[in-house]
Amino acid sequence: MLMALFNIVIFPGLLFLGIYALFFAFLDRKLYARLQNRVGPPWFQPLADFCKLLGKETIIPQGADRRVFVSLPVFALAAVTTAFIYVPIWSVNSLFPFEGDLIVVLYLLTIPTLCFFLGGWYSTSLYATIGAVRALTQLFSYEVPLFMAMLAPAILAETWSISGISAYYAEHPLYILINIPAFLVAMVACQGKLERVPFDLPEAETEIVSGTFVEYSGRLFAIFKMAIDCELVVVSALIAAIFLPFHAANPWLGFLYFIIKTVIILILLCLFRASMARVRIEQMLMFCWKILTPLAIIQIIINLLVRGALA
């Protein structure tokens, strides 16, 4: 019982995730700045931002439903934190592995997007409404290729559990090469999930101010921001667990591997963000359905064929 509480609150739960998310936010911003030949923020900047936001006044719009408006950021953070518990960190096994946790994690990761949508919708601001609608439209476009890209390795590994997939590829490391197209699809699609350039349409600062979050301020916004940062960690940890399964028996070494893998994924995501312009909503739909989805389907077919050949 005590151990479970420790796991949920401190490691690998809320506290560790929070600290690691702040570190990730720093790394992301610093790298982004260095890619643009700037100095970038100091290491404590995300923490300072978080603390500052906590101290600011929270304003709730008059037309908004108070309870829903306040609970949405907490919901988003809770969903992300819960998802993290099912992602392996120090070994091939996560904390509470079970058959089918991949699907649970993917669905838990959808909840923040729904929270952004509802948050924007309940803000009763025009910008937020447009941002909310965009968030939902975007969800329908990237979710399908992302899920399919995640499921393709699972088909090859013949298991629906993240730990099982990790263990399978740790045993047969060469099979990872088959999954490279799925890895690329997942990297692109998760850029949409994380609402980063080129798919940052729901917040598009220069178009709709900051979209869904335009009415959020103070503590609520801090929690939302935290949820987004945590989502970045969870998604990169998930991709690392599925597509880059190099594991060590020693948990300390395994943990080091985890950090290296997630940072590599972050660097790729950051490079992706730095090198493109934001697309329009209809261009994004077109891209996701016409390029990413067929690519993911082809991957699934290949994996099915390989599976058949192996059997």
Q: Does 39 bind another protein (CB under 8 A)?
A: yes
Please, is 7 exposed, middle or buried when counting C-beta atoms within 10 Å of its C-beta (0-12, 13-18, 19+)?
A: middle
- Supply the minimum distance, in Å, between the C-beta of residue 130 and another protein: 7
Distance CA 262, CA 78 (A): 21
The only residue of 127, 142, 183, 224 in contact with another protein, by rule CB under 8 A: 127
Q: Does 207 bind another protein (CB under 8 A)?
A: yes
Q: Which residue has the tokens 């609520």?
A: 220
Distance CA 50, CA 154 (A): 37
Q: Which of 241, 221, 207 is nearest to 86 (CA)?
A: 241
Q: Which of 162, 126, 130 is nearest to 244 (CA)?
A: 162
- Supply the minimum distance, in Å, between the C-beta of residue 273 and another protein: 9
Q: Does 48 bind another protein (CB under 8 A)?
A: no
Residues in contact with 178: Cβ distance below 8 Å, sequence separation at least 6, in sequence order: 156, 302, 303, 306
Stretch that binds another protein, among 28-36, 72-80, 106-114, 254-262 (CB under 8 A): 28-36
* Closest to another protein by CB, 6 or 44: 44
> Cβ distance 12 to 95 under 8 Å?
yes
The only residue of 28, 195, 200, 231 in contact with another protein, by rule CB under 8 A: 200
Stretch that binds another protein, among 15-23, 99-107, 204-212, 236-244 (CB under 8 A): 204-212
Give the angle subtended at the CA of 212 by the CAs of 57 and 142, to the nearest 5°: 145
Show contacts of 105-108: CB within 8 Å, 24+ apart.
105/162, 105/234, 105/238, 106/146, 106/147, 106/150, 108/79, 108/80, 108/82, 108/83
* Closest to another protein by CB, 39 or 249: 39
Q: Which residue has the tokens 């301020």?
A: 217
The only residue of 208, 233, 235, 296 in contact with another protein, by rule CB under 8 A: 208
Stretch that binds another protein, among 17-25, 77-85, 143-151, 207-215 (CB under 8 A): 207-215
- Supply the minimum distance, in Å, between the C-beta of residue 29 and another protein: 12
* Closest to another protein by CB, 187 or 241: 187
Q: Does 103 bind another protein (CB under 8 A)?
A: no
- Supply the minimum distance, in Å, between the C-beta of residue 64 and another protein: 10
Which residues make up the interface to another protein (CB under 8 A)? 31, 33-40, 62-63, 124, 126-127, 129-130, 197-198, 200-201, 204-210, 271-272, 274-283
